Structure 1
């Protein structure tokens, strides 16, 4: 790698689960790049393929009897899926780490908090027992846990949800990874703690010059904390661009609908919240054309028949839509 090379390159990645009902294309031809120090927001409804993409990038999902993974994922120039599983595990920690959305299933309930960190440090950095213990306490301090030495001796159930999530973040950061994947890290937390955790992640990434993929179904969580946004729907990318451009003028109807569903403090009391009509498609039997067409007010017969490709438009925006929102109001509204 040179200083100008992207840290992460994902090329036409497809993750297919073979089920009794048919093949489920959870990720269907997604590409992206990420530079050191850059934060990408990966957003979309539940079931859009965000988490599966994150695990595929990590190498946690690989081809097997019930799964087929194709395309290329390169981290620091290394093809993740071409590596032997033993060599791939060596990437986890020093090169790439993940913050999972549920800390109670990420942490072993019968191990002390400190042990979750010292095991990683001793395995990857070859620290002595004493060095690992000291560094574990320091990591807990860095993520804002009070009395870190005492907390390191406690078990996960003795901590609050916000504290447990901070422990998971500390474990992910233990080996100074170059890439951090945060998979909806605030799902189970209250609003105040969500804000703290998201701000903490953003500040840690900036301080350490890491790259981060922030996976979220909430566009409000990524605004102000990400450099770029990539919107996914039914396993595919539908829009991608700089955060300020996407929030300023969404071009894909799905992105526009997501933005419209965000509650606003300026709305008067008892304002009816906007929602996106319909449901995401059955991924075992997806529509032949645009997968958002059955829910889209701008859809035409072309949308129902032809799957749109990602096209580079103004302000370096990628959009997969036959009738983007910026078109004149008279275009593309009838079926």
Structure 2
């Protein structure tokens, strides 16, 4: 394996609220090499998006938030950088594709302005060169008539085109790391596939590392090298994507996969669900946070927090009762 581009060690993000401290990210670690893609999956509220923003340095410590742990990008600590240094990092080194393009694009600025501002600030190129490169970027992400689109406003484009503009803006300065936070939210399934295939091809072409944040396991399955399953701010299972999805060791991963609709099921088959609700992150359980919803839970699970252990296949699982091969029936 090549030298890691991104190294995250024991990362924690705590929000201080009137109801108490919320540990949105609680001791997460992983590394990512150039050209490698990592999927972050889990239910809504598991800490995926907060993790992505914390890695990028968009969430910093202050009166209402505490960030601890280490984030090294190319050997440099992101959180030790001054605000001005961090802004210079965004674009050439790391970029993010946000969930909703209508809120991440300025509605009173033309598409071309979004692209040329980024290029002129970071690459110091002329206006004419920035416009030419902006048109080429729109062409690369599959937008027809790119020169005309440069003159349009975000509301004049479809949802799929707006998301492509966001991707083009993120890729404008050839970042070494791309964080895609639910990049296909609110898009129809055909456009979703196009966007995800586009991201996968760009990673391969540019030897760019990518963190794909999603609650859609199908989106992650064929487009990432490794997967990290999160629950209540913690990593419960991680490893190569195909083996983890083919034979999960954590009951939560197994339950997520079991809830996916199957094409081979007879009509009107009831979907499987995960009983119960995620924990209140302001008052999480003492032991395993999944224990109240787990069919394998014991008294030990309610009292003792499981520690991640390496299992065969280069995977890690944090569970007192990993699923045995004989019990992996769905």
Q: TM above 0.5, one fold? A: yes
Residue 57 (structure 1) aligns with: 55
Instruction: Report the Cα distance in structure 2 between the residues aligned to 1:287 and 1:76, rounded to whole angstroms.
Output: 36
> How many equivalent pairs are there?
327
Instruction: Report the Cα distance in structure 2 between the residues aligned to 1:4 and 1:261, rounded to whole angstroms.
Output: 36
Instruction: Report the Cα distance in structure 1 between the residues aligned to 2:151 and 2:248, rounded to whole angstroms.
Output: 48
Residue 224 (structure 1) aligns with: 222
Contact 2:301 2:320 in 1 (8 A): yes
Residue 150 (structure 1) aligns with: 148
Residue 134 (structure 1) aligns with: 132
1:172-204 residue CA offsets vs partner (Å, 9 max, x unmatched): 000000000000000110111111100000001
- Secondary structure of 1:132's counterpart equals helix
Residue 30 (structure 1) aligns with: 28
Contact 2:41 2:214 in 1 (8 A): yes
1:192-247 residue CA offsets vs partner (Å, 9 max, x unmatched): 11111000000011000000000000111111110000000000000000011101
Matched, 1:108 2:106: yes
| 1:194-213 alignment, distance < 5 Å | 194-213=192-211
Aligned match for 2:316, one of 284, 295, 318 = 318
Residue 333 (structure 1) aligns with: none
Instruction: Report the Cα distance in structure 2 between the residues aligned to 1:326 and 1:187, rounded to whole angstroms.
Output: 35
1:24-75 residue CA offsets vs partner (Å, 9 max, x unmatched): 0000000000000000000000000000000000000000000000000000
Shift of 1:328: 5.6
Instruction: Report the Cα distance in structure 1 between the residues aligned to 2:297 and 2:189, rounded to whole angstroms.
Output: 36
- Secondary structure of 2:313's counterpart equals helix
Instruction: Report the Cα distance in structure 1 between the residues aligned to 2:266 and 2:200, rounded to whole angstroms.
Output: 32
| 1:184-199 alignment, distance < 5 Å | 184-199=182-197
Contact 2:91 2:172 in 1 (8 A): yes
Provide the TM-score with structure 2 as the length reference.
0.98
Aligned match for 1:87, one of 85, 88, 94 = 85
Aligned match for 1:296, one of 294, 297, 300 = 294
1:132-158 residue CA offsets vs partner (Å, 9 max, x unmatched): 000000000000000000011000000
1:244-295 residue CA offsets vs partner (Å, 9 max, x unmatched): 1101100000000000011111111111111111110000000000000000
Structure 1: gaps (5+ residues)? 330-335
Residues 217, 188 of structure 1: alpha-carbon distance in 2 compared, 3 angstrom cutoff: same
Instruction: Report the Cα distance in structure 1 between the residues aligned to 2:291 and 2:247, rounded to whole angstroms.
Output: 20
Q: Which runs of 4+ in 1 moved over 4 A?
A: none
Instruction: Report the Cα distance in structure 2 between the residues aligned to 1:241 and 1:99, rounded to whole angstroms.
Output: 24
Shift of 1:325: 1.0
Residue 309 (structure 1) aligns with: 307
Provide the TM-score with structure 1 as the length reference.
0.96
Shift of 1:13: 0.3
Residue 276 (structure 1) aligns with: 274
Residue 261 (structure 1) aligns with: 259
Residue 332 (structure 1) aligns with: none
